[in-house]
Each structure stands twice: as C-alpha cells, then as structure tokens.
Structure 1
Amino acid sequence: MLVDDEKLALLQLERMLTNAFSERGLLERITEIHSFQRVSEALAHAQLNPPDLVFLDIHMPEMTGLKAAEHIQQIVPDVDIIFVTAFDEFAVKAFELNALDYLLKPVAAARLQKTMDRVLASYAASEAQTENEKPIAFKQKIYCLNHIRFQSSDGTIFVPKWRTAKAQELFAFLLHHRGAIVPKHVILNMFVPELDKKRAMTQLYTVIYQIRKCMKEANFKLIIETDSIQEGYRLLLEDTVVDIEEWEASLISLATDDANNYEQLEQLLHQFDGDYMGNYEYMWAENERERLRRLWMDHAKRLMQHQYAAKEWESLTRLGDRLVGMNPYEFDCSVLIMEAYDHLGQYDKLKHFYYKQEKHIREELDLPLPDNMISWFQTWLKNRKGLPQV
C-alpha cells in the first residue's frame, strides 16, 4: 500500500518498486499494489484488506504520516511500514514507531535497493517464525530521551499520566537505578527532606501507590519490588527494553571500522534526538546525560572522518552542526567542517561557522581558536579572490 498526497510521487514510487522487485526476480511476490492520495481512504482499505507492506509519506495535509502509522499499526500490528519524507528530522520519530526503514525524497534507486534488502529480511524472519511456530513476543519499551514515554506490547506509544511531579521523578529515579535496590532513606532525603520520618514515609507509600496505579491504568507491566531486609525499592523490568540501553548496545556493536556499518551508525546517531531525560531538571541524571553525550560525540567524529574520506560533504556539515551544538568547544573536526562548506561552495556558512566559533571561545574562555583552525582559515581567505583578509 502506497500513501502520498502527491500523485506523481505515487506513480514514481510504484514504478521504482516494480522495477526493484523485477530486478530480483521477485515480482510474483507482489499480489496487489494499492495507491492512495487520501489517508482516510487508505485506512478504510486497510481495514478490509490488511497490507503486508506500507510506504507512507510523512508530510500530508489530511493527517501526518506518523499519525497514520499509529492507526495502521492498530489495524495491522505486524505490518511493515517504510516512511518516505523530504525532511530527515522525522527519521527518529519513524524509528520510534518501529518503522522498518525510511527514505528521503527524492528516492534514489540505490537507496531503495537497500530498503528492499530489509523488506526481504523481514519476510524471511517472519516465514521462519511461522515454520517454527515459535512466535517472538513483542517486548514493552521505555523511552528516556527527552521525556519518559512507554510503548506497550501492542506497539502503542503513550506518555504516562502522573498524578504528581514527585511520582514522575521517583519513577524516573527508580528507572535510572533499575535492577538495584534504592534505600528508602535515600529517597526520603532526596524528595522530602523537610518532613519528619512518619509523614515522609506516608508520602512515600502514597507516591509508590500512584506509580503502581499509573502503570496498571496504562496496562504497562512493571514490578516495583519492596525489599524489607534492606528497606528499599527495586524496579524490575521483565520483557521490557529501555531505548537508551538498546541504542548504546547497537552503537558499541559497530565499534569496528567496517565500511558496511557506517549507514547504520548514521541512523543510530540520528536516533539520539535530545538528552537523557533532557526535559526534566533532574540533577541526579546529569552524569549519565554527559556520559551519553560523550559517547554520541565520539562516534559522530568517527563518522565524520568517514564522510570526509567519502566526500559526503552535506552529511558531514549536518552532523558537524549537531556536534558543535552539543559542545561548542569541540574543535577536533572543525577543519573538516570548513572544508566541507568549501567543497559545497557555501562560503557564507563557512565564514559564519568560523567567526561564531571564534567569538564564542573568546567571550567564554578568553582564548583563541586552535592554531590549525586559524591557519586553515587564513590560507582559505588568501585563496578566495574578492574576500577581505584577516
């Protein structure tokens, strides 16, 4: 099923898909292709004829593709969804909805072939599961980037409705220490230091009850275990994954410099859209925030070195902007960023980047830029006719 409000885009995508399957000798696997310009018509069709594979545009007037995907997943939980968009900032949202892949417009034939690899791998896994008659249970998921949200076992993503700010923070604190016993006295000293012990314990029991009730109302299965010996609480996650753990494990698995891993590395870096519990001013989470930022930056610099060698200038500048935005004092790849702007002919952006970095470090630290940046920029200015000299 193809859904896009632009008719020409639908026709082109249908043609490219037909060619992609045909080149692999798999055209007979497509029994039907249905194209829709209106989301409402696509949803009505899906109710009667559940699709196996959906290509879904994100930016549509009637309903966004992200919202439409939620409806389609409710109708057909096992459907494979591939988002098609002109804006790469939607990629993270796409993967939060368990999309199989996403494509940037205009869709390139080579990139579509990689998507088809994922489609066929997904089908092969599904067929093997059917043959073995051992279905894999879908795990619950907790998202921690920016703000906490849950993904239930049916794939629905939702934000829990906390009764109080203390209930929200205490859950976040237990999640932060998941699997470990958090002593009650630590919790009391952090959350209600102004209360006497009796009143503080009463409030603690109330907040724990609110958390459990919130989880029950959301049909999200977690265990808050009470340890009477050590006088504390422990959050146990059974059949539940945490997004940041999953992300870090995937990132570490790509540590070797395998050229085939760079595309996946780029996707993982895109997924890091914000900070760990970044929407909350929880000081106790700051060390973990900084650790994850450093992990992201280290791998971003590694990818930028590859992009430089591969002359992927636009990708390099986009990633460089994120890197500098995360840490203005990160200069390891500054020359690579300026060279990329130069190759793209974006001279104004190059100068803006340099002068902004120079102003920031002088105002904040009263220091000059690194020598290699100054030397490269002065040489570049001298080689550019008609531009003022430093």
Structure 2
Amino acid sequence: MVGAYTDPSEMLRDAKELGPDIVFLDIEMPGMNGLEIASRILELLEDVEIVFITAYHQYALEAFRVHALDYLLKPVELELLYRTIDRVVKRKKGNVAAVSESGQAPSRIVCLGGFEVYPAEQTEPIRFPTAKAEELFAYLLVHRNTNISKWTLCDSLWPGIISSEKLNQNLHMAVYRMKKTLRDGGIGVRISSQRGFYRMECDAPCDYVMFEQAAVDMNELNPRHVEVATKAIQLYRGPLFGSRDYPWCEAERERMSRYYAGLAKRVARWHFDQGHYHETIELLLSVLYDVPFDEEAHEILLRAYIGLQDRTAFLLHYERMKANFIEELGVEPPATLKQLYINMRLY
C-alpha cells in the first residue's frame, strides 16, 4: 500500500507522485462523491485501476460507467478482495508482455479519406467506446504538440452545453476512454494534462502528419524531390477525417485540400515540362476529382492532351468541364480554357 487518505483533496494532490496501480474508493464520502473523485484520478493516472467499495447495490451501474475495474460490497469479503487484486496483477502482466514481445509500439494512424487507428501489425482498426472519445483524439491530433485549455476542448466538442459541471464530467470521461483505448491498442502517442491544459505528442506513423510535413517542406522540385512529393501526394486519399462531421476541423480540412491540390499541380507541371504527359494527366484527374473547378489544373490537363495529340480526349474533357461550370457555378469556363478549346477546334 502506498497511501491511505480520509481527505479526497489530499489524495488527489499526491496521486500522481505516488503512482498507484489500484485505488479503492468509497462512493459515499463527505465533501466529494467517490464517482467524481474517480473521474479526476483517471484524468491524472491513465494506467490506474479503480475499485469502489459501497454498501449499496444500486451504485454498481454508476461505478462501471466510469470504467471501474470492480466494486465490492461492505463488509468486504477477503476472498473477493484477493480476486480483484489478482485481476489487476494479470492485467499489468498482460500489458508488459505485449510491449516486451514487440520491443516497441509501432502503430499507424489514417486520417486522410477516413479515420482509423491500427495497432502494431494489425489489419483491423481499434474501436473507440464512444464517438466523443474518438473525436477528442482527432482534435488533439490536429493540435498536437500544443497545450490546449480544457475549456477550449469543451467549447469545440460540446458547444451546446453550458453547465461547467456537466462539461467537466464529459471531458473527464472522454479523456479516460480515449487514453484507455489508445493504451490498450499500443498506439504511439503521449498525452499529458497539467493545470487544466492537455497536450498530445504523436510518435505513431500518421498519413496526415507526414503529408503536411512534406507539403510544407517542399520548395524547389528536382527528380529526387518529385519522388518524395509523389509519395506524399499518394498519402492523400480524401478529406481530413473523411466523412466525420467535425465542425471544428473545417478550416484544417480545407487547408489540407489546398496543400494537396498545390503540391499535385506542381508535380504535374514538372512532368508536363519533361514531356511526361501520361503522368501529368493521371495526377490532374485525381486533383480535379477533389477540386473540380481549379482553372490551373484544367489548363495543364488540356495542354497535356494537346501534347499527346489526343484531340478526342481533349474535347471530351472540355465538354464535361463546361457542363459542370454552367450547372454548378452558372458561368462559362474561364477565357484561357475557352481559347484552348477554340484553338483545338481550328486544329
């Protein structure tokens, strides 16, 4: 035993330093409810196990809602107590064995075109117990390496709730569930909290992180850089977090889309200048699937068809493009594109 307390505040103050494997809590306590204390402990210590001790059966459901390992009825029977402790020991041994066998915790995170988190050497993604736990992870991933106020998190994830007590409860539960899911999956992230701020650092390979870094770092293009840029472009398989409806990430989603279109057009223009028309066309058709009204992409693509002397493909693409401009935007294609079309018709 590393400590025993009658004052919940003192226990919370010392919890991180003591680092217990298991905490036994009474539910009915003066000044602070045991369920509330459990939520705060789980925020401080992600690996701790909670066991409630109570005289009342009706608290069982509430106990498991905060992901307690077990609950024991008073008076506590020694056999049941030893059984609970044995469960904790087995869990700890299992976690150690999983890490030692692999030597590390390689995992991967897919954010572009969807949102899936894969444990090491697994083909099936982990499942978060709640949508909010998953969304919280997405938010921290976007704001990685940054200290985020808990109130900023609450405003972003629970914008319709004004009760500070309810917001605290929601946040504590989401943080615990997220941490436990990631820890059980061996996902390479580090999440810390201090004085009302949260911070996440990501070690696991993540397509979103790698794509952003490549897009930001790409200055001039040469054959070696083109290869790197092409691999980065291939990481972009769709919008950030796919179809997840996260209003707070719209600006970041748009930023990644602009990075993708800009990088792909630069590589496509490089291929065009080298006379690699097929590579140019392949790249730009992918870009135009995501940004169908990008004038520059249409122009380079049409010029690539001219380079191939493929009049049929040129005219088919122009007619489809024109129909989309008129139907969706209510305007004719830009003058530059219309002139290319006129020149092709005269050819």
Q: 1:276-315, aligned counterparts within 5 Å?
A: 276-315=240-279
Closer/same/farther in 2, CA of residues 205 and 297 from structure 1, 3 Å limit: same
Q: 1:134-149, aligned counterparts within 5 Å?
A: 140-149=107-116
Does 1:266 pair with 2:230? yes
Structure 2 distance, partners of 1:194, 1:257, is: 49
Structure 1 distance, partners of 2:320, 2:260, is: 23
Closer/same/farther in 2, CA of residues 173 and 200 from structure 1, 3 Å limit: same
Structure 2 distance, partners of 1:368, 1:181, is: 48
1:34 is matched with which residue? none
2:140 is matched with which residue? 174
Structure 2 distance, partners of 1:364, 1:250, is: 33
Closer/same/farther in 2, CA of residues 203 and 172 from structure 1, 3 Å limit: same
Structure 1 distance, partners of 2:104, 2:166, is: 43
1:380 is matched with which residue? 344
Closer/same/farther in 2, CA of residues 167 and 252 from structure 1, 3 Å limit: closer
CA drift at 1:345? 5.4
Deviations 1:182-211 (A, max 9, x none): 222223333333363223322222221111
2:55 is matched with which residue? none
Q: Which runs of 5+ in 1 are unaligned?
A: 1-135, 384-390
Structure 1 distance, partners of 2:106, 2:186, is: 13
Contact 2:287–2:297, Cα closer than 8 Å, also in 1: no
Structure 1 distance, partners of 2:214, 2:108, is: 16
Identity %: 20
Deviations 1:246-273 (A, max 9, x none): 2233344442232333233223212211
Structure 2 distance, partners of 1:151, 1:293, is: 24
TM-score using structure 1 length: 0.56
TM-score using structure 2 length: 0.63
Aligned counterpart in structure 2 of residue 212 of structure 1, from 155, 179, 188: 179
Closer/same/farther in 2, CA of residues 138 and 168 from structure 1, 3 Å limit: closer
Secondary structure of the 1:325 match is helix
CA drift at 1:140? 4.3
Structure 1 distance, partners of 2:300, 2:156, is: 45
Secondary structure of the 1:198 match is helix
One-letter amino acid of the counterpart of residue 241, structure 2:
M
Contact 2:132–2:174, Cα closer than 8 Å, also in 1: yes
Secondary structure of the 1:255 match is coil
Moved more, 163-172 or 365-374: 365-374
Q: 1:233-382, aligned counterparts within 5 Å?
A: 233-237=198-202, 239-344=203-308, 346-382=310-346
Secondary structure of the 1:245 match is helix
CA drift at 1:354? 0.8
Contact 1:341–1:347, Cα closer than 8 Å, also in 2: yes
Closer/same/farther in 2, CA of residues 254 and 182 from structure 1, 3 Å limit: closer
Contact 1:148–1:159, Cα closer than 8 Å, also in 2: no
Deviations 1:358-387 (A, max 9, x none): 22222333332222211121121122xxxx
CA drift at 1:139? 5.0
Structure 2 distance, partners of 1:247, 1:325, is: 19
Report which of the two structures shows the higher radius of gyration computed on alpha carbons. 2
Contact 2:111–2:240, Cα closer than 8 Å, also in 1: yes
Closer/same/farther in 2, CA of residues 328 and 183 from structure 1, 3 Å limit: same
- In the comparison of the two structures, how many residue pairs are matched? 244
2:197 is matched with which residue? 232
